[in-house]
Structure formats: structure tokens, C-alpha cells
Structure 1
Amino acid sequence: MTELVRRFENKVALVTGGRSGIGQAIARRLRDEGATVITAQRGEDKEFDWISADFFDPETPERIIEEVIARTGQLDVLINNAGMMQEAAIEDMSLEDWQRNLTLNLTAPFLMIRAALPYLRKTKGSIVNTGSVEGLASNPLHAAYGATKAGLHGLTRAVAVDHGHEGIRCNAVAPGWIDTDLNLDLIANMPDPEAFQHNIGRIHPIGRTGSPEEVAALVAFLAAEESGFITGQIYPVDGGRMSKLSLP
């Protein structure tokens, strides 16, 4: 691996949902580029300094930001990565389940951003949200997930418009099929894992699924000062899947 440029020396980054999957890859990338990284999620993070977080509690985001400032004195990068996906037909989804998806995938990032703005204003900081290709199109039985991710994309643009003049940038990545432990376990439990992996790879022009590290590389770029003229954008990380028409 090529030695990484240390773009985040003397900077503090907060990654929600940073203990596993894409969030863990982001946390590692930012750390390897020099950042002091703190993660926030329900479970213990054995690799990073961490804060216990229940994002279904509306008081949690402000508490997390206050704790980051108490520990480090600053905040330069906010990564809103924590989220959930629930499969259900619209008619089968309770209002309670709908609200849980909305709370974790959209309201929590809003509250995190609101609490972080005073500190990001001081550092001319950057926000990167983890959206999804399902905020751009839809898979079956993912109404709540797709709607909340589309909302997160909209929030990303709104923050960029409202706070760009203060030096705060806000972008989002929209991952497609990424080989997280969760997805790999899903494939392993398929009747024919090898065939499924082959078929899922074929829907991507690049011929394969993606890695968490590939998402993290883009997040690091968007969080870094070298992308200073980029804000309000949603970047698919999908191996070209969204560009490919289905066969007639």
C-alpha cells in the first residue's frame, strides 16, 4: 500500500457507527492520515477512543459533541455514518418502525450537525454523511431506508447551502453493494454463496462489489482541505451500478 499523506494532522474527527463496517474503515483511514479519531455507537470500540451512544435518544447527539470537545477541545470533521436498514412492505411496516428508521437515519444526523456547527464554525470544518444509492433509486421492500437516505441527501445539500459562507462544507457518499462483514455473512448464509457473489458482481460494470476501504478513501478526500471547493454533493460509490441500464 502506498504511504498515506497525513492530511489530518492536529485535527479531530468524530465517526458515528465507527466500530464496524464502513464506519470502521473511515475511522482507520482518518487515523492513518493523522487525525485524532473518536467513534460513537452503542457498543465498546476496542480500537478507538469511543463514546457510548443511543441515537434513538434525542439528547444523545449534543452529549456526544460536548464530550468530544471536553476530551479534545475541538472538532474538525464530523462523519455521520450510523444507520439501519429494515426490510418490510409499506403495508406491513408499523408507524413505530417507520419512526425508528427516520430517527436513526435522518433525525440523528440532523441533531449531530446542529450540535456540531458551533465548533465546526471555529475550525472551518467538514461534514461527510453516509447516504446510499438507495437514496437515488430503490430496492424492493426498502421504503423506509430509501426515503430516509434520500432525506439525508437533501439535508446534505441544505447544510452546504446554509453554512458554506462560514467555511463549513457538507457532502455525502452513496455506497452501493459493499463487502462489509454484515453483507459477507448474508452471502455466506445463501443456498449458493458463490453463485450469488458472482451474480451480484455482474450487475456492476466494474465486475465486482466494493470494499469499505474504497468508500473510506473518498470520505477522506471529501473531509480534507484539498477538496475545499466541493460541497453539497452526493457521490455514488457503486462500481458503476447506477449508470448501467437493465437488459431489454
Structure 2
Amino acid sequence: MKTAIVTGAARGIGLATARLFAAEGWQVALVDRDSEELARVAPGIAQGFAVDCDISEPDQVEAMVAEVIARTGRIDALVNNAGIADFGPIEQTDFARWRAVMATNLDGTFLVSQVCIPALRKQGGAIVNIASISGLRGSTLRVAYGTSKAAVIQLTRQQAAELGEYGIRANCVAPGPVRTKLAMAVHSPEIIAAYHDAIPLNRYGSEEELAEAITFLASEKASYITGQVLAVDGGFESTGVGLPALRKTPA
């Protein structure tokens, strides 16, 4: 049975992805540093099991991957979804805040990928890194977050270029605004309306829609796709700097 590791799997996109992998018959290692929430959700996923891990800690990453291999004997897909968001003006982003974001979003993605390579090489496999639309276009208040996600996109390309000869594919999903519980809790009605105006599909995406894209890139259906960045964003990135008002043709 194929095995997937999904980091940041206690909630949101990671949890939706773990559920979809399981529904498609995969074993799934749900990895997160929120032990309490992980213990709550993992039992509800067939072929799913929890592994506590802070991916910014090399020793914990080594132990996590070893545990997955000991339990399943293989790794066929790695979804680097774990990440933290810290929004604020550049002047107020001190180095501690910058490093905290980079430690998980970039360093953690690098660490987990590197430790998984030997297992992925055995039968070929897929790495799917989760970036963000903020890694593709600049925006305010995201100096650390956006920069970390842009780096994840470049890391994906490096992985694709170097690991392809081993039969390992590496791709990146860049979510746009997604209707997660956290987003809905912090986005005001004004922000939601503005996003709807700016997104050609006029709505937020769902966690399940992101999971569909992620599991596709991890599957054999994407066997000749590597080094790509897929923006799952309702067309948000395609509009560039265009203002919603300018996209409306006068009658």
C-alpha cells in the first residue's frame, strides 16, 4: 500500500489532503506539532496515523521519517504543507519573527524533503510543496511569509532538476484565498468582499479543492509533471495588478 506523509495535517488543507489520500487507499502519516489536535483528528482517518513532529527541528524530522518507514516500509509521496503565517509591516518584523517563519516554512520543507529522499528513491515518488499566491506576487504585510513561500517555489525547482534522475518528481501548489476556519475568523466582511471582487471566480477556494490538486500531483496521473507551480487560486494570480473596476467593460 502506498504511503504519504502530510505535514501540517492537524487541520485545514493538510487534514483535507490526508483524508483524500486515505479515501484513495493510501496509508497516511499525519504530521504536526499540535499533538492534542493531531490526536483528535487522526483516529477518524482510515489508514491514517499520527506522528508528532516540529519540522523546524532536524532531530525530530529524522525521528519522524524513521517512524513512518518502520511502520509502513515505504514513502511514496511527501506533502510539505506545514507552515506559519505572520503578517505585519516590514518595520515591525523583527529578526525573531522573520526567523520563526523561515524556520518552519522554508527550513522545515527542506529538512523533511532531504530526509525522505532515500525512501522516495527506492520506487520513485513525489514531493508536493505548498507555497502560496503570496510567493508569486508581492503584497503588503507579508515580508517574511511571502519571501518564505517564494523560496519554497525555487526550492521545488531545484528539487525537480536534481531528483528527477531518481524518479522523484517535485511540484508546488500555490493556494490563493481558501475558506479555512482561520481565514474566516480573521477576515472581515470587507476583506472577504474585496477578495471576491479581485478573484475572477468571485469566491474563496475550499480545503477540498486544494486537496484534489495536491493528491493529483502526487499520483501517477501526474507522472510526467515535475518542476511546476500550480496556482489553485480561482484566477487571482492571472489578474496581475489589474484592479477589479478596470476588468468591467462599460455597457
Indicate the residue corresponding to 2:201 in structure 1: 206
| Aligned counterparts of 1:43 and 1:86: Cα–Cα separation in 2 | 18
Structure 1 residue 196 displacement after superposition: 4.2
Indicate the residue corresponding to 1:6 in structure 2: none
Indicate the residue corresponding to 1:4 in structure 2: none
Q: What amino acid sits opposite 1:38 in the alignment?
A: A
For residues 26-82 of structure 1, the C-alpha deviation after alignment (integer angstroms, 9 at most, x for no partner) is 111111111101111112322321111123323222111111011111111100000
Indicate the residue corresponding to 1:37 in structure 2: 28
Indicate the residue corresponding to 2:249 in structure 1: none
Q: 2:5 aligns with which of 10, 14, 20?
A: 14
| Aligned counterparts of 1:149 and 1:229: Cα–Cα separation in 2 | 24
Matches within 5 A, 1:120-199: 120-187=120-187, 190=188, 193=189, 195-199=190-194
Q: 1:47 aligns with which of 35, 41, 48?
A: 41
Alignment check: 8 A CA contact 2:55 2:109 kept: no
Q: Percent identity?
A: 39
| Aligned counterparts of 1:177 and 1:240: Cα–Cα separation in 2 | 11
Structure 1 residue 168 displacement after superposition: 0.3
For residues 89-121 of structure 1, the C-alpha deviation after alignment (integer angstroms, 9 at most, x for no partner) is 222211121111111000111010110000000
Alignment check: 8 A CA contact 2:4 2:75 kept: yes
- Residue correspondences, number: 234
State TM-score, norm by structure 1.
0.91
Structure 1 residue 88 displacement after superposition: 2.0
**TM superposition outliers: structure 1 runs of 4+ over 6 Å:** none
Is the partner of 1:15 in helix, strand or coil? Answer: strand
For residues 111-133 of structure 1, the C-alpha deviation after alignment (integer angstroms, 9 at most, x for no partner) is 10110000000020111011001
Indicate the residue corresponding to 2:71 in structure 1: 71
For structure 2, the residue ranges without an aligned partner over 5 or more in a row are 43-48, 247-251
State TM-score, norm by structure 2.
0.90
Alignment check: 8 A CA contact 2:160 2:168 kept: yes
Structure 1 residue 157 displacement after superposition: 0.5
For structure 1, the residue ranges without an aligned partner over 5 or more in a row are 1-9
Alignment check: 8 A CA contact 1:56 1:100 kept: no
| Aligned counterparts of 1:231 and 1:212: Cα–Cα separation in 2 | 23
Is the partner of 1:59 in helix, strand or coil? Answer: helix
CA RMSD in angstroms comes to: 1.2
Alignment check: 8 A CA contact 1:14 1:77 kept: yes
| Aligned counterparts of 2:174 and 2:108: Cα–Cα separation in 1 | 18
Between Structure 1 and Structure 2, the one with more helix by share is 2
